[in-house]
Amino acid sequence: MIRGIRGATTVNVNEKNAIVEATTKLLKETIEQNKVTPDLVASIHFTMTRDLDAVFPAEAVRLFDGWANVPLLCSSEIDVEGSLPFCIRILMTVNTTQGQDEVQHVYLEKAVSLRPDLAS
């Protein structure tokens, strides 16, 4: 079956290294907590708030061996007044035997405030 794994993190500055490092940490946590391998991943959709534009967050995936064939997509998050700034989100679509309630969603840094009920 196919499941979506959600996650988010934040950075303090709109700089390439900060975005890649934060995205890498988010991906590693998501992969580890859900025991994901690249052959199980159908795709990963990244969004960032409009105050971030120094790099595509998908660039972080290039640092992972064996992930070159995973389809990646980056887009802007809807600009809602009062929403959490400097935020990077992921939706990883995976093939898994895990039930919906077994999937571990990962929220790091200030993004924990988005879904404290799901934060790991």
Q: Is 6 annotated as catalytic? A: yes
Q: Which of 21, 29, 59, 74 is catalytic?
A: 74
Question: Does any domain span residue 119?
Answer: no
In the residue annotation, 89 being an active-site residue is answered as: yes
Distance of CA 24 to the CA centre of its chain: 9
Query: What's the confidence (pLDDT) of residue 117?
Result: 84
Cα distances from 80 to residues 53, 76, 92, 113, in angstroms, run 17, 12, 23, 16
Percentage of the chain surpassing pLDDT 90?
93
Active site residue 62: yes
Which entry of 32, 50, 59, 89 is annotated as an active-site residue? 89
Number of domains observed in the structure of the chain: 1
CATH, residue 92: 3.30.1330.40
Which of the following is catalytic: 15, 50, 102, 115?
Answer: 115
14 belongs to a structural domain: yes
pLDDT tens profile 50-85: 999 999 999 999 889 999 999 999 999 999 999 999
87 among known catalytic residues: no
Domain of 72 in residue numbering reads as 2-113
Q: Is the pLDDT assigned to residue 120 strictly greater than 70?
A: no
Candidates 3, 77, 87, 109; catalytic one: 77
How many angstroms separate the first and last alpha carbons of the chain? 23
Active site residue 3: no
Active-site position among 15, 32, 50, 62: 62
Contact 73, 35 (CB under 8 A): no
Collapsing DSSP states into helix, strand and coil, what is residue 12? coil
Residue 120 domain-assigned? no
> Token pair of 54, please?
């120094």
